[in-house]
Amino acid sequence: MDLGSFIGVISGISLIISAIILGGDAHNFFNTPGIMIVLGGTVAATLLTFQFKDVIAAFKAAYFVFTQEKQDPNRMIATMIRLCNISRQKGIIELGKVKTQSPFLKKACGFISDSADESVMRSSLRTEIESLKMRHFVVQDVFRKMGVYSPAFGMLGTLIGLVQMLSQMQDPSSIGPAMAVALLTTFYGSLLSTVFFLPVAGKLKARTVMQVIDLEIIFEGAISILENNNPILVYERLSSFIPPRVRKPLSSMRKG
Amino acid sequence: MDLGSFIGVISGISLIISAIILGGDAHNFFNTPGIMIVLGGTVAATLLTFQFKDVIAAFKAAYFVFTQEKQDPNRMIATMIRLCNISRQKGIIELGKVKTQSPFLKKACGFISDSADESVMRSSLRTEIESLKMRHFVVQDVFRKMGVYSPAFGMLGTLIGLVQMLSQMQDPSSIGPAMAVALLTTFYGSLLSTVFFLPVAGKLKARTVMQVIDLEIIFEGAISILENNNPILVYERLSSFIPPRVRKPLSSMRKG
Amino acid sequence: MDLGSFIGVISGISLIISAIILGGDAHNFFNTPGIMIVLGGTVAATLLTFQFKDVIAAFKAAYFVFTQEKQDPNRMIATMIRLCNISRQKGIIELGKVKTQSPFLKKACGFISDSADESVMRSSLRTEIESLKMRHFVVQDVFRKMGVYSPAFGMLGTLIGLVQMLSQMQDPSSIGPAMAVALLTTFYGSLLSTVFFLPVAGKLKARTVMQVIDLEIIFEGAISILENNNPILVYERLSSFIPPRVRKPLSSMRKG
Amino acid sequence: MDLGSFIGVISGISLIISAIILGGDAHNFFNTPGIMIVLGGTVAATLLTFQFKDVIAAFKAAYFVFTQEKQDPNRMIATMIRLCNISRQKGIIELGKVKTQSPFLKKACGFISDSADESVMRSSLRTEIESLKMRHFVVQDVFRKMGVYSPAFGMLGTLIGLVQMLSQMQDPSSIGPAMAVALLTTFYGSLLSTVFFLPVAGKLKARTVMQVIDLEIIFEGAISILENNNPILVYERLSSFIPPRVRKPLSSMRKG
Amino acid sequence: MDLGSFIGVISGISLIISAIILGGDAHNFFNTPGIMIVLGGTVAATLLTFQFKDVIAAFKAAYFVFTQEKQDPNRMIATMIRLCNISRQKGIIELGKVKTQSPFLKKACGFISDSADESVMRSSLRTEIESLKMRHFVVQDVFRKMGVYSPAFGMLGTLIGLVQMLSQMQDPSSIGPAMAVALLTTFYGSLLSTVFFLPVAGKLKARTVMQVIDLEIIFEGAISILENNNPILVYERLSSFIPPRVRKPLSSMRKG
């Protein structure tokens, strides 16, 4: 998570908390049965909708998206140009020996060093990209659905509270506090959804877009190398993926 | 249903129920006319929207999705590679004798053993995949629509209750309990939708995605076999459908 | 409408009505000005949005969708195979004399008997299918929009009722019944939408899907006949449109 | 606007108005500050979202859509067949002299008389159609956004009224009328949206669909003429755009 | 921002403000904790969803969209025709020396002067356009999400206020003002969303459409120049992007 966002989030949440404290007793906002209903309901509905391992994967992805550094796509372009130079100087067989952490780049290099058919490489790598998009979509969907389930269970909790309150209305003076407690679950559900689930789903979607751009750069670059294009042309093709303002010139990449 | 999800769902629902019981008499939450309105309305609107047999099919599909094991796509890849080896060692005619439970795989093998035109096989199998997607979409749609109808009838029930209460407001002390009863149908409708209909629709959609991946693997594999590709290339093409982390190496598949 | 659905709808509606009657006077639920507002408003907004003849066409389509039998796509496949046999035995000219109620099939046969260019036939028939989809979309849209307008006018009616009640609040004891009357229009609007407009829109959409499958079968079949494929291949191509379980074997179709 | 729709709209609105008058004083429904908030807010938000000239264009389009006659697509087909005959009898150069009000048809004729490359004509005319769709989309969007903004400002007006009422609650007997006034803005906003903005947006969308069909007929017809097809084939291709029931036979068109 | 819109926005907002002032004390509408909750929450959720630099970029884009002049697409067509003339008179090498502020046009000219392969130029420029659309989508999305978050935090603020009010309901006479304060955050959230965030998102989307048209004109023009088309044909192809009414004739462009 970048520093700017971190400061912004902290100060935003401080504002809310201080506004609550200014208004009176903060312990009015804590109600165990309400928390049980909202959390229990959201977890149950989510585990009914998804597989246990998908939910675990989603929370892992949420953890990484806030801790990992965002990658600069310029670096991937530099890598592809380096690979292009290697393939032209030492031959395409050399690309089969490239060491990389990305299974996608490894697969692309394998295809090139086997001088595979372009259409086979194209369809196989395209399938990889589409599969990755689909898997990431499931991960985002876990949080998007939780963002729908948690206010729904908040409302259900409020209905439960109202029904209990209205059925046992012996003492008029207890109506106020009972209603306050009933409203709390709606508060919990909406808060969880707006402050946590929906932003995380949005963040994961943005991260997927960045990763897909990286894969597209590898995809286009690998095809360029297979077609034996020169590094200048490869740079021209790949730099189109990056906004003009942050694009690095080819000269700075060759050194990299 | 996997064990993790099962435990999660059970504990989530226990949380909600214990929260209700903590709050007082649980029998306040049971109201026969309310249940009649929500269930009757949802069933009637669903049967107006869909055919009887589609609704039956949807509930059957919901039953299977929670009881059947999820298939590992690695197994389908292993099957396709075995078929590839058979076709190369014993000839493509042999594929016509393959025994399988999947009508789709059977059809694909039939096309190969007849050495059909690639474009004919492609368009016919593609039509099968699209038809399956469309049929599954109807099944998911039954639950999605029920997830829309049940809170709508919940709200209608509450309106009915409010109108009855407000028209006969002789005794002020009866307002509370009457309103509690009126709110119950909204509670029933939302609960049914959030805890049952929507999660089932989500689960069915996820299952369709898995089945379509299986069919895509057969589709791509059959074309590879028809093009007489070698098993290594078939593996490279088909493994793209599986996330890198759970991908099994080709060597382990050959034994299978 | 199939028998199962009919019984389901009747019993569902009986449940709702009996629940209302159980709760007290049913004549509380009848209010002429409220019905005028909801019906008048929905009709006016719908006629502003659509042309008079489109609205008439929509109601006609709604009538047919509940009275006409759903066609078995197997029959259309049998028809196409019969045409294929005719064209191979008596020559394609013979197809120009085929008698059929479907203008689409007639047009397709005309193209074949004129031995038209495949691309011309393809684009013309494709345009027919797209035009039919578009026309049916308008018909569904009439009901979908009515399903949006009717609760909106229900809410407007309730606002009118509340404004009238609140402006003339001399007698506190009249508040309850006045509010009951105000809520009735919301009830009417939501009931109409949930019980009639939305299910009909869904039913019409499902029917369109069935008709488009029929047209696609004719489309694919006509191209197969023009390409002079044999009946077995035509059957293989066309049967892909039907779920494996209800697919009839080729042998049973030849007799047909 | 067709007569049927006109009568329907008038009678629908009469129903609403008579229902209001039946309920009591109609002047309770008139509140100047409320109208100022809803109209002022909707206008301001719309002019922030769109350019002044786009908003003007949208209202002009709304005026025309209710006053202009809807064109029969059969006429456009007849025109294209006449042009086809001209080009076959007098040569394609003659088409350059055709006089027409439609700039699209003029452009198409220009391309044919210049015997332009088919791909150039195709891409240029396709761009025209897409540009028209995009421009019309903006015009519809003005009304769709107004249909969103006006109930939002209605709700804001009600909030303003409630805050004012609740802050100055000295006299309990004034609560009723003050609340009635507060609710009026919600009434104005929803009424404007449901009775005017949304139906107009729907009408404009339907009109766009009709115009695009006209352009598609010119598009397909021009390509047919360029390919030197005979009038019968041109008729077969173009008539696919029209529903079979209202399709006129070729013979009646030749005279036209 | 055009003058018409400016006047409209100012007068619209004046209407709202004067309506508020007419209703009583305007200082009832100012509440510091409420503003803290809505602004703090919206900022925090937005910075959780997006990166700090994306949020900054979005506000910069919002500033420019209201201050910069909207470009006339006729000018871009004139530019492309001038470039076409240059390339035909002085040779395509000359295009490499063209000075322009648009990196996209610069890149297109570079491809032409290098007499690049058409398919390479096409895919590279297409990638640029798609990347720009994606980047602009993120910028619009910042405002669209803020338009969702701000009413959500408004509602959360109201829930906080209601819970505080209901828990401490000793003095019945304080209920009114406390409820007024609680409603204020809903007012703030909806106002911000309807008057600022959503219109800005709409404006940015419209601006993107205009810029994409400019890029499409360059794209199509560059391909025309590479194919060595004459200026008349280039004009015919490019003018299709502009509505017929504002299209300038070729003669007026040549002078430009």
Q: What is the pLDDT of residues D34-58, one digit of tens each?
A: 898 899 999 999 998 998 888 999 9
Read off the amino acid at residue D177. Answer: P
Interface check for D188 against chain E (CB to CB < 8 A): the answer is no
Q: Using pLDDT thresholds of 50, 70 and 90, give the confidence band for residue A255.
A: low
Interface of E with D in 136-175 (CB under 8 A): 173
Q: Which of D140, D158, D153, D254 is nearest to D208 (CA)?
A: D140
Q: What is the DSSP string of B53-105?
A: HHHHHHHHHHHHHHHSPPPPHHHHHHHHHHHHHHHHHH-GGGGGG---S-HHH
Q: Give the model's pLDDT for residue D1.
A: 61
pTM of the predicted protein model: 0.90
CA distance E225 to A194: 52
Interface of C with D in 64-103 (CB under 8 A): 103
Distance from the first to the final alpha carbon of chain D: 26
What are the structure tokens assigned to B39, written together?
A: 């269930």
Interface check for B124 against chain A (CB to CB < 8 A): the answer is no
Residues of B in contact with A42 (CB under 8 A): 12
Count helices and strands in chain D by DSSP H and E runs: 10, 0
Contact state of B167 with C180 under an 8 Å Cβ cutoff: yes
- Between helices E73-90 and E231-239, what is the axis angle to 10°? 160
- What mean pLDDT is predicted for residues A205-219? 91
Q: Give the model's pLDDT for residue A156.
A: 93
Interface check for E25 against chain D (CB to CB < 8 A): the answer is yes
pLDDT digits (tens, 9 = 90+) for C154-213: 999 999 989 888 887 777 777 888 888 889 999 999 999 998 999 999 999 988 998 999
Q: Using pLDDT thresholds of 50, 70 and 90, give the confidence band for residue D255.
A: low
Residue E236 has pLDDT above 50, yes or no: yes
Substitution target in B13, B14, B16 with the highest count of A β-carbons within 10 Å is B16
Q: Give the model's pLDDT for residue B204.
A: 92
pLDDT digits (tens, 9 = 90+) for E29-62: 888 888 988 999 999 999 989 988 889 999 999 8
Nearest to A16 among E41, E46, E163 (CB): E41
> Please, do chains C and D touch (3+ CB pairs < 8 Å)?
yes
Instruction: Compute the count of residue pairs across chains A and E with CB atoms less than 8 Å apart.
Output: 161
Interface check for A238 against chain B (CB to CB < 8 A): the answer is no
Q: Give the model's pLDDT for residue D144.
A: 95
CA distance D142 to D62: 11
Q: Give the model's pLDDT for residue B8.
A: 78
CA distance C49 to D199: 4
**Predicted ipTM of the assembly:** 0.88
Q: Which of A207, A201, A76 is nearest to A133 (CA)?
A: A207
Instruction: Compute the count of residue pairs across chains D and E with CB atoms less than 8 Å apart.
Output: 162
- What mean pLDDT is predicted for residues A58-68? 86
Higher pLDDT, E147 or C4: E147
Are the C-beta atoms of C118 and C223 separated by less than 8 Å? yes
pLDDT digits (tens, 9 = 90+) for D227-243: 888 888 888 889 889 88
The residue assigned the tokens 């299709």 is E240
CA distance E167 to E159: 12
pLDDT digits (tens, 9 = 90+) for B137-189: 999 999 999 999 999 999 999 999 898 888 876 777 778 888 888 899 999 99
pLDDT digits (tens, 9 = 90+) for B21-76: 877 777 778 888 889 889 999 999 999 899 888 899 999 998 888 887 777 888 89
**What distance lies between CA C120 and its chain's CA centroid?**
30
Residue B28: which residues within 8 A CB-CB, separation 6 or more? A163, A164, A167, B180
Q: Give the model's pLDDT for residue D101.
A: 85
C-alpha dist (Å) from residue C247 to C93, C235, C239, C242: 30, 11, 7, 6
CA distance E142 to A199: 11
Lowest mean pLDDT among A101-110, C114-123, C170-179, D117-126: C170-179
Residue B256 has pLDDT above 50, yes or no: no
How many C-alpha atoms does A10 have within 13 Å on its Cβ side?
7
- What mean pLDDT is predicted for residues E167-195? 85
State the CB neighbour count (10 A cutoff) for residue A255.
6
CA distance B138 to B54: 8
Contact state of C9 with B44 under an 8 Å Cβ cutoff: yes
Residue A73: which residues within 8 A CB-CB, separation 6 or more? A210, A213, A214, A217, A241, A242
- What mean pLDDT is predicted for residues E156-181? 83
Q: Give the model's pLDDT for residue E53.
A: 87
Residue B229 has pLDDT above 60, yes or no: yes
Residue of B nearest to A156 (CA): B187
pLDDT digits (tens, 9 = 90+) for D114-157: 888 888 899 899 999 999 999 999 999 999 999 999 999 999 99
Distance from the first to the final alpha carbon of chain B: 26
- What mean pLDDT is predicted for residues D97-122? 88
Interface check for D48 against chain C (CB to CB < 8 A): the answer is no
How high is the mean pLDDT of chain C? 87
Nearest to C40 among D4, D12, D243 (CB): D12
To the nearest whole Å, the CA of D121 is away from the closest chain C CA by 18
CA distance A178 to B106: 64
What are the structure tokens assigned to B169, written together?
A: 């407001």
CA distance A104 to D60: 55
CA distance C129 to C213: 10
Residue C180: which residues within 8 A CB-CB, separation 6 or more? B162, B163, B164, B165, B166, B167, C28
In three state form, how does the secondary structure of chain E look?
CCHHHHHHHHHHHHHHHHHHHHCCCHHHHCCHHHHHHHHHHHHHHHHHHCCHHHHHHHHHHHHHHHHCCCCCHHHHHHHHHHHHHHHHHHCHHHHHHCCCCCHHHHHHHHHHHCCCCHHHHHHHHHHHHHHHHHHHHHHHHHHHHHHHHHHHHHHHHHHHHHHHHHHCCCCHHHHHHHHHHHHHHHHHHHHHHHHHHHHHHHHHHHHHHHHHHHHHHHHHHHHHHHCCCCHHHHHHHHHCCCCHHHCCCHHHHHHC
Residues of E in contact with A241 (CB under 8 A): 127, 131
pLDDT digits (tens, 9 = 90+) for E10-38: 888 888 888 888 777 777 788 888 898 89
pLDDT digits (tens, 9 = 90+) for A163-201: 888 887 777 777 888 888 889 999 999 999 998 999 999
Q: Give the model's pLDDT for residue C250.
A: 82
Are the C-beta atoms of B194 and A156 separated by less than 8 Å? yes
State the CB neighbour count (10 A cutoff) for residue D7.
12
